[in-house]
Copies of this chain bind each other. A is one copy, B any other.
Amino acid sequence: MRYARIPDETVRRLPIYLRSLSYWTDLGRERISSKDLAESVGVNPWQIRKDFSYFGQFGAPGVGYDIASLTKHIKKILRLDNDKEVALVGVGNLGNAVLAYSGFDRYGLKIAMAYDMNPKKIGKTVEGVTVEDFADLSKLPLRKVKLAILAVPTGIAQEVADRLIAAGIKGILNFSACHLVVPKSVKVTHIDIAMDLASLPYYLPTR
């Protein structure tokens, strides 16, 4: 069943594997078994083997997976093989945290530009990125950026999203507390910190 449709859940897990593989690479390891990889990411070994089976044969039976080639292949599947620039919109508290975050390199992702509407912020350089005027969003197509991180107040999120899409953005990581209405050709991933926290109490022991 090689290269058949890959389940969404598998796609969601691939970056997790990638993160762990980069960890093992840093430690100088060359091969890893589904069992060891499973343990380090917190899933079952057969889940991992099944996931990898969707995109061909990889491991050597009796030996395991070659970390370097597995990494390369997962990156290709996820289209992370070429470095990608990402635009950040909204340089408030959260935007600053995103700019300071160091975990993007591993995936070949780079926050290459930042936008804000506050005149006091425009022109300043944060973490090596100069904050540009929100009004210049329309010039985005020139830079061929396809991904954006939306870290603006909820009230203007939809409007900003519309403008991002008009500027050619095809993938949005949305931090604001609202559902975005977008064309089918645009993929939105949503992070709502409060919401994630809100589902925890349900799982707390009742006592």
Give chain A interface residues in 132-153, CB to chain B under 8 Å. 146-147, 149
The reply to whether A187 and B173 contact each other, CB–CB distance below 8 Å, is no
* Chain A residues at the B interface, C-beta cutoff of 8 Å: 11-12, 14-16, 18-20, 40-42, 77-80, 84, 86, 92-94, 96-98, 100-101, 103-104, 106-107, 109, 146-147, 149, 170-173, 177-179, 181, 185, 187, 189, 191-205
Copies in the complex: 2
The reply to whether B78 and A193 contact each other, CB–CB distance below 8 Å, is no
Within 8 Å CB of A192, what residues of B? Answer: 15, 19, 103
Within 8 Å CB of A189, what residues of B? Answer: 196-197, 199-200
The reply to whether B200 and A147 contact each other, CB–CB distance below 8 Å, is yes
Interface centre among A78, A98, A103 (most CB of B within 10 A): A103
The reply to whether A101 and B193 contact each other, CB–CB distance below 8 Å, is yes
A98 to B12, CA, bound (A): 25
Within 8 Å CB of A191, what residues of B? Answer: 191, 193, 196
The reply to whether A104 and B197 contact each other, CB–CB distance below 8 Å, is yes
> Which B residue sits closest to A151, measured CB to CB?
B97
The reply to whether B101 and A94 contact each other, CB–CB distance below 8 Å, is yes
Q: Which of B18, B97, B107, B179 contacts A197 (CB 8 A)?
A: B107
The reply to whether B11 and A199 contact each other, CB–CB distance below 8 Å, is yes
Q: Tell me whether A84 and B40 are in contact in the complex, defined as CB-CB below 8 angstroms, given that A16-B195, A19-B195 are known contacts.
A: no
Q: Tell me whether A18 and B78 are in contact in the complex, defined as CB-CB below 8 angstroms, given that A40-B179, A179-B40 are known contacts.
A: no
